[in-house]
Amino acid sequence: MGKLPVRAYAAAMLTVGLWAMSYIWADRLLALNIPVEFFVQVRAFLAGILLWILNKVTGVPMRILCRRDFFKFVFLALCMPFIYFVAETYGLEFTESPTITSLVVATNPILAMVSGIVMFKEKFGPLNIVGVFITLAGLWLVSFTRSQTSALFWVGVGVLFIAVVAEVSQIGFTKSLSAHYAPSVIVMYQFLLGAVYFLPLLFTKGIRNFDAGLYLSWDVLYPTLSLALFCSATAFTSWAYAIKVLGVAKTSVFLAVVPLVTAVLAFLVGEETATGLQWIGLAIAMVGIYLTQRTPAQPDL
């Protein structure tokens, strides 16, 4: 395994860890009754500005090369962060179950695997496919809880699948753009354009009950800045790099591990407890991840 794949795997794992932390930071904001429409838009805008400064200082070319690429950036930002975050939030509200939400969102590796094979002709052998389902089985064991369903439960499940499609679609656009643009440039445009999409929600719901004493307090600024710098600017840039090197299918499998890492982090900080069955599920998921990364054997010539 060369240096590039090792760096790409490290980038993917870094992304998983930061996205897992995002649930904890976002939960702190929600506990303070900060509207999603406020902190998601601020998060996207700050991430875009931070990456613009980084690219400017380091001299990374930022010019969009052609009109076709511009529209790819537009659709990339539409899928993620706009459609994904809106669908995920309302899906969680309708199902009233973080467990079901994480399980539905975690099905994206299957759709991404098909996308990578069909659209980008990526090689994915039978062992890799088995690994995907083993990973999801481990995730199910970690996340499984008994819960009652709400009246809008199935509507919520449908909305969550919209989030899954949006997430896989943004991976495809990222892969397509990665041949001509640096990862930091792709993510910069993704979040600057995404911030524009969120403006109507910001002005109608995000600042409806704006309280400067609360919104500008360190309790709000700290998790918001953490989400922008680490979970958006850093995580999405490392994610774009992993997609460029590893491809759509293999990179996307790491998304299934985000709820697992979130569970571990929540356990470590004392917010949740984990059962023996959940730790077994974590081990099973790690085996699944390993299988998805095995390179299919090449036939002898």
- What's the 3-state SS for 224-280? HHHHHHHHHHHHHHHHHHHHHHHCHHHHHHHHHHHHHHHHHHHHHCCCCCCCHHHHH
Beta-strand (E) ranges in 9-136? none
Rounded CA-CA distance 4/164 in Å is 28
Predicted confidence (pLDDT) per residue in 239-261, tens digit:
888 888 888 767 877 777 776 77
Token match 């369903």: residue?
Answer: 149
Q: How many domains does the chain have?
A: 1
Cβ within 8 Å of residue 298, ≥6 positions away: none
Q: What is the four-CA torsion angle of 254, 256, 260, 262, rounded to 10 degrees? A: 80
Instruction: For residues 53 and 58, give the distance between their C-alpha atoms in angstroms, rounded to a whole number.
Output: 9
Query: Tell me, what amino acid is at 287?
Result: V
In the predicted model, is pLDDT for residue 43 greater than 80? yes
85 pLDDT tier (thresholds 50, 70, 90): confident
Task: Tell me the pLDDT of the chain averaged across its residues.
Answer: 81
Average pLDDT over residues 261-282: 70
Q: What share of the chain in percent tops pLDDT 90?
A: 33
Per-residue model confidence (pLDDT) at position 79:
93
Give the pLDDT band (50/70/90) at residue 165.
Answer: confident
170: Cβ–Cβ under 8 A, 6 or more apart, which residues?
A: 76, 79, 80, 84, 190
Instruction: Give the number of other CB atoms < 10 A from CB of residue 205.
Output: 13
The more confidently predicted of residues 74 and 157 is: 74
Whether residue 169 is predicted with pLDDT greater than 60 in this model: the reply is: yes
| pLDDT of the residue at 299 | 47
Q: What is the mean pLDDT of residues 15-41?
A: 85
Residue 283 has a pLDDT of: 76
Structural domain includes residue 299: no
* pLDDT value, residue 170: 85
pLDDT of 301 reads: 40
Q: Provide the residue range defining the domain that includes 254.
A: 3-292
Check pLDDT > 90 for residue 222: yes
Q: How confident is the model at residue 119 (pLDDT cuts 50, 70, 90)?
A: low
What does the pLDDT look like over 181-219, one tens digit per residue? 999 999 999 999 999 999 999 999 899 889 999 999 999
Q: Would residue 298 count as lying in a domain?
A: no
Report yes or no on 301 lying in a domain: no
Q: Is the pLDDT of residue 122 over 60?
A: yes
Range 70-98 average pLDDT: 84
Q: Is the pLDDT of residue 300 over 50?
A: no
Q: Is residue 288 part of a domain?
A: yes
Report in angstroms the alpha-carbon separations of 18 from 102, 230, 234, 235: 16, 6, 8, 6
Q: pLDDT value at position 121?
A: 66
> What is the predicted pLDDT for the residue at 219?
94
Closest CA to 106 of 234, 7, 254: 254
Q: Which residue has the higher pLDDT, 142 or 154?
A: 154
Q: What is the pLDDT of residue 64?
A: 94
Domain presence at residue 258: yes
Which pLDDT value is given to residue 227? 92
**What are 156's two structure tokens?**
């919520």
- Please state which of the ranges 4-13, 36-45, 78-87, 278-287 shows the lowest mean pLDDT: 278-287
Angle at 16 between CA 14 and CA 17, to 5 degrees: 65
Position 13 in a domain = yes
